[in-house]
């Protein structure tokens, strides 16, 4: 896993970078904003900009800062208290970044997103154009989840994932995830101080997911697993990921100079087209299709569309245009795509040849249940 160490960090050649800093890196142990840390992020991003690199910052910390401002020692569990803390804290966060970046003559822009903003194709394209406009204007976009309005149904959920979604959105070359650990260890170093460090691996390598645990800090949200999954997601648009310690001196600048710091997860997965990436990232699954062996072979090996004849069972309620998962014989999701028929229609035609669709439903809109153009192989 540590074998293919490259002499130069992937960040050296990246011209568009998304950098994500976790809550523990912008607050003093969750007790209010660490203005010195914020100043360091600003000066490092300013240095990268002076090298001609475009940088979008995804910063956590709103809830931690809100808790400090409200005098709460413990992270609340109720959604509305969390949302209230985020609303209070985001003010401080935005203000601190604006002040810190202004010392380098840089303007900042606040971008608060939810999953719902990105799941709508028009709003997705709009967010993308706005981010590009900001980068062209030389402004540093600072992104966070819009926690104040984000309920579970519409939330991205954690900023590692949000960082990956923004990486895909703006087709960044690299995602830097800064956290309170040196990078990925073979198991959580808080629980196992003997755990070995992973310096290089392939993004999307399934063995990494088994190594990564949840958050250990009580301040952060995602833990290491969301970072590993973020790297896999970022790789789908060709972006490499580095997970490194935000406590390393001048970590971003040294990475940009080519130094290998932290865990480098290289993008070696097939890159999805922009439209398929958006489908994979943003649309909620509405149902599941259990396939037979022939259909699995047709999809995965022969690159064909999914026909009703290869479906053995269907779960869920969906309408034409919704996203459904395709499961293989072992129940693993092997593909997902936009379905052409509603769940009630699909149940009536499953297991049948396409020539029978018109007879069963009264009309045939499409011969395929999911056309290959609308299908993502996982
Ligand atoms: N295999 C692992 N390697 C490194 N850290 C891990 C691992 N598994 C779990 N962790 C935990 O993940 C934490 C970092 O995630 P998190 O607390 O969410 O930080 P952040 O706020 O930076 O996102 C670490 O402090 C560590 O305890
Ligand atoms: N949006 C939340 C942060 C959520 C989150 O993922 O936190 P972290 O694990 O510290 O990156 C906030 O600003 O408090």
Answer whether 258's CB lies under 8 Å from 101's CB. Answer: no
Mean pLDDT of the chain: 92
Would the CB of 281 count as within 6 Å of ligand 2?
no
Question: Which residue CA neighbors atom 25 of ligand 1 most closely?
Answer: 216
Q: What is the CATH number of domain 284-377?
A: 2.30.130.10
Question: Can you tell me which atom of ligand 1 is nearest the CA of 217?
Answer: 17
Answer whether 161's CB lies under 8 Å from 233's CB. Answer: yes
Question: Can you tell me which atom of ligand 2 is nearest the CA of 90?
Answer: 13
User: pLDDT of 57-114, one tens digit each?
Assistant: 999 999 999 999 999 988 888 989 999 999 999 999 999 999 999 999 999 999 999 9
Would the CB of 370 count as within 6 Å of ligand 2?
no
Q: What is the DSSP string of 321-360?
A: T-EEEEE-TTS-EEEEEE-SS-HHHHHHHTTS-GGGHHHH
Identify the residue whose tokens are 């568009």.
16
Question: Can you tell me which atom of ligand 1 is nearest the CA of 211?
Answer: 1
User: pLDDT of 280-306, one tens digit each?
Assistant: 877 778 999 999 999 999 999 999 999
* Nearest by Cα to 37 from 256, 259, 251, 264: 251
| Confidence (pLDDT) at 6 | 59
- Rounded to whole angstroms, the Cα distance separating 299 from 313 reads 17
Q: What is the CATH number of domain 16-276?
A: 3.40.1160.10
User: What count of other Cβ atoms lies within 10 Å of the Cβ of residue 307?
Assistant: 20
| Alpha-carbon separation of residue 192 from 87, 177, 187, 226, 237 (angstroms) | 36, 22, 7, 19, 34
Answer whether 270's CB lies under 8 Å from 378's CB. Answer: no
Answer whether 56's CB lies under 8 Å from 45's CB. Answer: no
Question: Which residue CA neighbors atom 5 of ligand 1 most closely?
Answer: 188
Q: Is the pLDDT of residue 319 over 70?
A: yes
φ/ψ of 123, rounded to 5, equals -70, -35
Would the CB of 159 count as within 6 Å of ligand 2?
yes
DSSP-assigned beta bridge partners for residue 315: 288
User: Percentage of residues in the chain with pLDDT exceeding 90?
Assistant: 75
**Domain spans of the chain, in order of start:** 16-276, 284-377
Q: Give this complex's ipTM.
A: 0.98
DSSP-assigned beta bridge partners for residue 289: 314, 326
152 or 134: which carries more pLDDT confidence?
134
| Confidence (pLDDT) at 4 | 55
Would you report the helix, strand and coil content of the chain in percent, each value rounded to 5?
Answer: 40, 20, 40
- CA 91 / ligand 2 centre spacing (Å): 15
| Confidence (pLDDT) at 279 | 81
Question: Can you tell me which atom of ligand 1 is nearest the CA of 215?
Answer: 17
Ligand nearest to the CA of 262: 1
| Confidence (pLDDT) at 239 | 97
Identify the residue whose tokens are 């994500």.
20
Answer whether 376's CB lies under 8 Å from 274's CB. Answer: no
| Confidence (pLDDT) at 157 | 87
Question: Can you tell me which atom of ligand 2 is nearest the CA of 215?
Answer: 9
Domain 16-276 identical in fold to domain 284-377: no
Question: Can you tell me which atom of ligand 1 is nearest the CA of 160?
Answer: 23
- In the structure encoding, which two tokens stand for residue 286, read together? 């509405």
- Rounded to whole angstroms, the Cα distance separating 43 from 48 reads 9
Would the CB of 161 count as within 6 Å of ligand 2?
no
User: pLDDT of 3-57, one tens digit each?
Assistant: 555 589 999 999 999 999 999 899 887 568 999 999 999 999 999 999 999 999 9
- Using CB distances shorter than 6 Å, the residues near ligand 1 are 22-24, 60, 179-181, 184-185, 187-190, 211-213, 215-217, 220-224
Identify the residue whose tokens are 């540093």.
140
Q: Is the pLDDT of residue 173 over 60?
A: yes
- CA 182 / ligand 1 centre spacing (Å): 10
Would the CB of 221 count as within 6 Å of ligand 2?
yes
| Confidence (pLDDT) at 299 | 95
């Amino acid at each position: 896993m540590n074998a293919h160490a490259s002499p130069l960090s992937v960040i050296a050649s990246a011209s568009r970078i998304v950098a994500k800093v976790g809550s523990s890196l912008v607050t003093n142990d969750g007790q209010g904003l660490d203005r010195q840390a914020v100043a360091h992020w600003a000066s490092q991003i300013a240095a990268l900009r002076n090298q001609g690199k475009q940088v979008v910052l995804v910063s956590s910390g709103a809830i931690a800062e809100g808790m400090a401002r409200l005098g709460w020692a413990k992270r609340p569990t109720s959604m509305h208290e969390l949302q209230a803390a985020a609303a209070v804290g985001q003010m401080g966060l935005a203000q601190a970044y604006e002040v810190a970046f202004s010392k380098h003559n840089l303007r900042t822009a606040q971008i608060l997103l939810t999953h719902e903003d990105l799941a709508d194709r028009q709003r997705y394209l709009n967010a993308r154009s706005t981010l590009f406009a900001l980068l062209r204007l030389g402004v540093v976009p600072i992104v966070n989840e819009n926690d104040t309005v984000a309920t579970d149904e519409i939330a991205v959920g954690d900023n590692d994932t949000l960082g990956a979604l923004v990486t895909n959105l703006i087709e960044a070359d690299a995602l830097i995830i800064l956290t309170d650990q040196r990078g990925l260890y073979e198991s959580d170093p808080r629980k196992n101080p003997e755990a070995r460090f992973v310096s290089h691996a392939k993004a999307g390598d399934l063995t990494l997911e088994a190594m990564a645990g949840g958050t250990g800090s009580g301040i952060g949200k995602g833990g290491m697993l969301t970072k590993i999954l973020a790297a896999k997601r970022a790789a789908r648009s060709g972006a490499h990921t580095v997970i490194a310690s935000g406590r390393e001196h001048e970590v971003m600048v040294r990475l940009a100079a080519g130094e290998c710091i932290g865990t480098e997860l290289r993008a070696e997965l097939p890159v999805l087209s922009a439209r398929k990436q958006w489908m994979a990232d943003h649309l909620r699954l509405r149902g599941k299709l259990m396939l037979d062996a022939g259909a699995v072979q047709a999809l995965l090996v022969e690159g064909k569309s999914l026909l009703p004849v290869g479906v053995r069972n269907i779960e869920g309620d969906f309408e034409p245009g919704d996203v459904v998962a395709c499961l293989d014989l072992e129940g693993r999701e092997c593909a997902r795509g936009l379905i052409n028929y509603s769940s009630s229609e699909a149940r009536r035609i499953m297991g049948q040849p396409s020539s029978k669709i018109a007879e069963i439903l009264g009309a045939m809109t499409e011969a395929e249940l999911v056309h290959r153009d609308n299908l993502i192989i996982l």
